[in-house]
Amino acid sequence: MTPPSDPDRLRYHHVDVFGSRAYSGNSLAVFAESAGLAGEQMAAITRELRHFESIFLTRDGEGWVARVFDLLEELDFAGHPVVGAACVLHALHGTADTETWTLRLPARTVRVTTRRHSSGRYAGVLEQGAPDFLGAPEVAGLLPLFSLRPEDLATGLPAEVVSTGLRYLILPVRADALARARITEDLEAPLAGAGAQFAYLLDVAGLEGRHWNNDGIVEDVATGSAAGCVAAYLRRRGRLADGVPATLRQGRFAGRPSRMTITAYGPSDAVRTVAVGGDVFLIGTGELWQLPE
């Protein structure tokens, strides 16, 4: 089979984000030059590659415009794709060991600081900005959707909707409940009724979380956008000190252990900004010889 000529090919980069080594953490496809692609094409490519998410970049003056798709839809904001994309930009365009990149997403413009550690290994820290605290809904009626009961909730910690670009219902649960949780039906409508787009189950004592697509079919292994909301939630509840990083774990139950460094800045009643970071491993590159119509 003879490949098309170079101008007809679309190159992408396969990276693993928030893992402790290659082939751990959350995999991602990064399209560093995607000018001319329509949103429908980006969605089709994401479904074809089957990563949890793909990110498509185009240059925008001094920064970059980013569009992120998961297997179901385009997302206004995301964490692990932005961190992974910034590390790819560092590999392609960086001249120093430490660089800062500006990426514009529909929900907000963010900065990512990246550091080159060794060949193929980088680290990135995403500044997610000031969080919005959007209320503490009653969640007893939602618990059966996760195969949980009221006694599975963590004592003394309310559920709360927090956003740094996407609205997450942070649902604090006991460690044994986190392990037992399963999605029984589509979450989109019930979560919308609580003012949220997604849900993140959190074992506060163990600093471990779980998140699924709203249809419950795919479990995410490292949700950077939610991790920023977790940092804000923990700071607001006095469980995270001002400016002191902590490690949030995720992905153990999906067979892809991940770890994210989370930090919240500011007093507990006025969190100024949150940051999420972790390691990124460059796994390889590929080319698409044909594009979806």
Question: Tell me: the pLDDT tens digits for 55-82?
Answer: 999 998 878 999 999 988 999 999 999 9
Which pLDDT does position 60 carry in this prediction? 87
Q: Which of 69-73, 168-172, 180-184 is predicted with the least confidence, judged by mean pLDDT?
A: 69-73
Q: Give residue 190's pLDDT band: very low, low, confident or very high (50, 70, 90).
A: very high
Could you tell me the residue ranges of all domains in the chain?
6-127+279-288, 132-271
Q: Give residue 98's pLDDT band: very low, low, confident or very high (50, 70, 90).
A: very high
Question: Tell me: the pLDDT tens digits for 199-251?
Answer: 999 999 999 999 999 999 889 999 999 999 999 999 999 999 999 999 999 99
Which pLDDT does position 263 carry in this prediction? 98
Instruction: Indicate the Cα dihedral angle 51, 228, 241, 129, nearest 10°.
Output: 140
Best CA proximity match to 242, nearest among 250, 232, 253, 229:
232
Torsion-angle region of 165 (φ positive above 0: left; ψ -120 to 50: alpha; else: beta):
left
Class of residue 289 by CB neighbours under 10 A (exposed 0-12, middle 13-18, buried 19+): exposed
* Phi and psi at residue 120, to the nearest 5°: 85, 0
Q: Give residue 270's pLDDT band: very low, low, confident or very high (50, 70, 90).
A: very high
Question: Residue 219 has which token pair?
Answer: 């479990």
Does 3 or 260 have the greater pLDDT score? 260
Residue 9 has pLDDT above 80, yes or no: yes
Which pLDDT does position 122 carry in this prediction? 98
Tell me how far apart the alpha carbons of residues 131 and 161 are, in angstroms, rounded to a whole number: 10
Best CA proximity match to 164, nearest among 128, 203, 140:
128
Q: Contact 160/131 with Cβ under 8 angstroms? A: no
Torsion-angle region of 25 (φ positive above 0: left; ψ -120 to 50: alpha; else: beta):
left
Best CA proximity match to 105, nearest among 169, 166, 42, 168:
166
Which pLDDT does position 49 carry in this prediction? 96
Tell me how far apart the alpha carbons of residues 178 and 167 are, in angstroms, rounded to a whole number: 20
Q: Give residue 13's pLDDT band: very low, low, confident or very high (50, 70, 90).
A: very high
Best CA proximity match to 198, nearest among 216, 176, 181, 177:
216
How much of the chain, in percent, has pLDDT values that exceed 90? Answer: 91
Which pLDDT does position 232 carry in this prediction? 98
Which pLDDT does position 2 carry in this prediction? 52
Which pLDDT does position 63 carry in this prediction? 86
Express the helix, strand and coil content of the chain in percent, nearest 5 each. Answer: 20, 40, 40
Question: Residue 60 has which token pair?
Answer: 């925008």
Averaged pLDDT, 139-160: 96
Q: Same fold for the domain at 6-127+279-288 and the one at 132-271?
A: yes
| CATH T-level assignment (fold) for domain 132-271 | Diaminopimelate Epimerase; Chain A, domain 1 (3.10.310)
Q: Give residue 6's pLDDT band: very low, low, confident or very high (50, 70, 90).
A: low
Which pLDDT does position 3 carry in this prediction? 54
Averaged pLDDT, 165-184: 97
Averaged pLDDT, 4-9: 66
Q: Give residue 118's pLDDT band: very low, low, confident or very high (50, 70, 90).
A: confident
Mean pLDDT of the chain: 95
Q: Which CATH code for domain 6-127+279-288? A: 3.10.310.10
Residue written as token pair 């560093």: 32
